[in-house]
Amino acid sequence: MFVASLPLAVAPATDPHLQLVLRVLPALVVILVAAAVCGRLALLVMQPRVVGEMIAGVLLGPTLFGALFPEAQAAVFPAEVRPVLYVLSTIGLTLYMFLVGAGLDHSAGAPGELRRATALAASGILPSLALGAGAGLLLWDRLSRPDVGPAEFALFVGGALSLTAFPMLARILYERGLENSRIGRLTLVAASIDDAAAWCLLATLSAVHLGAGPGDALRTIGLSAVFAVVMLAVVAPLLRPLGRRVAQTGRLGASAIYVIILVPLTAGWLTDWIGVYSVFGGFIAGLCMPREPAFRAALHGRMMDVVSTLLLPVFFAFSGLNTHLQGLAGGPMLLAFAAILAAGFFGKYFGCALSTRALGFGWRESWAVGGIMNARGLMILIFINIGLAQGMITQELFAMLVLVAVLTTAAALPLYKLALPDRHERASAAVDREGVEQVSTNFT
């Protein structure tokens, strides 16, 4: 009886769609297990979980898994599975950037505070951009694709190195209860300005690279500007009643969730059609969300765990599958990597630290700001994956910048703690509280 029914049980496996599912699910299981294990190991060595997840993605690629067990890696990640992983990672990135945009606090402080944050952002962007572009010009003939000019290549390298991992910086500050301190407010606003500037640069480079000529590039840039204006001026006001309703009830209903998910996915589809990648649409959609704290808390509570636990590890794994560290062997390639790493690290670290000192902070606080502003994290991985997908960079440069992402992100928290140990951090927080109480006394 069992033998007779067996063909019926296995017959559906001849369905090509089911065969694809049976290939995708094991890949997802391997990705999530690797991300969970490496994330846990990262926590044990006092690193953020995202550092372990990034390393897990690299280890699943040809660098380790593919080198030691090539047949097993080919079985887990066959060619037909990779497009599915790409789609899942793109959806995950679009929703993640949506949550990043929705989490930005537009009312971060007084105009004077905004000016100081802008100065700090500029001190992080300009040195990294200049040093990165200089390194890019020196390495253009060695690392660039033949259809990418020196200026475009240099600006891409400089733009990638000018990023700050805003979500990771926010996580460090919130975990330490410093989000409302002077350092916290200043660095959060500065990091958001850093990233917004880098995305604008990447959108421009994408438009120029993908356009058949100057006219097509100008069309893409113009449509992107129109899209942003319509979203911020038309869509954002339409969503405000939703924010007020959530603020009154304290929860997101099913209808609200449909609207919230449709907005970034539709925005991502439109920006993909325009030619500047869906993550830009997701980020702009996030900026359009209501600004009520209750709404933002409910939104992150409902979506962030699913996006960061399920979809982002897929993105890290997809990035890892494209990371060929074997190509960095040899003296010339290692020197090229050292030049790029040094340009990114020193430009951001010293630029932000010296700027923070000029703004009136002590040296310990200034070096702490330089350390956490230097993390690239997920932001640079998104940046370079777009560049690789659109044919702006080579596999060798991609691998180098993946290593820059891992190393600068792993160094951020140790540099912060080295500059600002717990006792100094508590003293700095106490000074902030005294300042707030003094201001309150003056107004009463």
> Is residue 401 a contact partner of residue 384, using CB atoms and an 8 Å limit?
yes
Q: Looking at the structure, do residues 337 and 350 belong to the same domain, yes or no?
A: yes
Q: 407, 336 in Cβ contact below 8 A?
A: no
Burial call 104-127: b when 16+ CB within 10 Å, e when fewer: beeebbeeeebebbebbbbbbbeb
In a domain, 12, yes or no: no
Tell me the CA distances in angstroms from 133 to 124, 192, 207, 377, one per residue in order.
14, 21, 19, 20
Are residue 297 and residue 326 in the same domain, yes or no? yes
Residue in 129, 123, 279, 96 with CA at minimum distance from that of residue 187: 123
Indicate whether 239 pLDDT > 90.
yes
Task: Look at residue 441 and tell me whether its pLDDT is greater than 60.
Answer: no
Q: 317: buried, middle or exposed (CB in 10 Å: 19+, 13-18, 0-12)?
A: buried
Q: Which of 322, 318, 276, 310 is nearest to 83 (CA)?
A: 318
Q: What pLDDT is stored for residue 109 in this prediction?
A: 53
CA distance 380 to 400: 11
Residues 205 and 349 in one domain: yes
Among 35, 59, 80, the domain-final residue is 80
Tell me which residue of 388, 406, 441, 380 sits closest to 48, measured CA to CA. Answer: 406
- Residue range 368-395, pLDDT digits in tens: 999 989 888 778 888 888 888 888 899 8
- Same domain assignment for residues 116 and 263: yes
Whether residue 219 is contained in a domain is answered as yes
Last residue of a domain, one of 53, 80, 107: 80
- The distance of Cα 151 from the centroid of its chain, to the nearest Å, equals 24
| Structure tokens, 281 | 């649409």
Do 40 and 150 fall into the same domain? no
Are residues 301 and 350 both part of a single domain? yes
CATH number at residue 119: 1.20.1530.20
Rounded CA separation 311/87 (Å): 10
Output the six-digit token pair for 173. 């500050």
What per-residue confidence (pLDDT) applies to 180? 66
Which of 65, 80, 95 lies at the terminal end of a domain, its last residue? 80
Q: How far apart are CA 208 and CA 213, in angstroms?
A: 8
Instruction: Using the predicted structure, report yes or no on whether residue 137 has a pLDDT greater than 90.
Output: yes
Residue 46 DSSP label: T
217 and 231 co-located in one domain: yes
> Containing domain of residue 44, as a range?
26-80
pTM, entire model? 0.78
Give the Cα-Cα-Cα angle 309, 41, 384 (nearest 5 degrees).
Answer: 55
Token duo for residue 235:
């869509």
Quick one: what percent of the chain has pLDDT higher than 90?
31
Same domain, 184 and 264: yes
Q: Which amino acid is at 129?
A: L
pLDDT at 229: 92
pLDDT, average across residues 186-212:
77
One domain for residues 89 and 159: yes
Nearest to 426 by CA among 142, 245, 248, 176: 176
The two counts, helices (H) then strands (E), for the chain are 21, 0
pLDDT for position 189: 79
The end-to-end CA distance of the chain, in Å, is: 87
| Cα distance between residue 189 and residue 148, in whole Å | 33
For residue 16, being part of any structural domain is answered with: no
In a domain, 444, yes or no: no
The encoded tokens of residue 399 equal 């691998």
Residue scoring higher pLDDT (38 or 305): 38
Q: DSSP strand E in 306-352: where?
A: none
Please tell me whether residues 36 and 172 are part of one structural domain: no
CA 194 to CA 349: how far, in whole Å?
Answer: 14
**286 in a domain, yes or no?**
yes
- Asked if 361 and 241 sit in the same domain, the reply is yes
How many separate domains does the chain show? 2
Q: pLDDT tens-digit profile of 316-365?
A: 898 888 888 876 777 788 999 999 999 999 999 999 999 999 988 889 99
Instruction: Give residue for tokens 């509280």.
Output: 433
157, 381 contact by CB (below 8 A): no
SS3 state of residue 108: coil
Per-residue pLDDT tens digits for 410-432: 898 899 889 888 777 777 666 65
Q: Are 63 and 98 members of one domain?
A: no
Length of the chain: 444
CA 231 to chain centre: 22
Whether 285 contacts 231, CB under 8 Å: yes
Torsional class of 145: left (φ above 0), alpha (ψ -120 to 50), beta (otherwise): beta
pLDDT digits (tens, 9 = 90+) for 37-67: 999 999 898 888 888 888 999 999 888 898 8
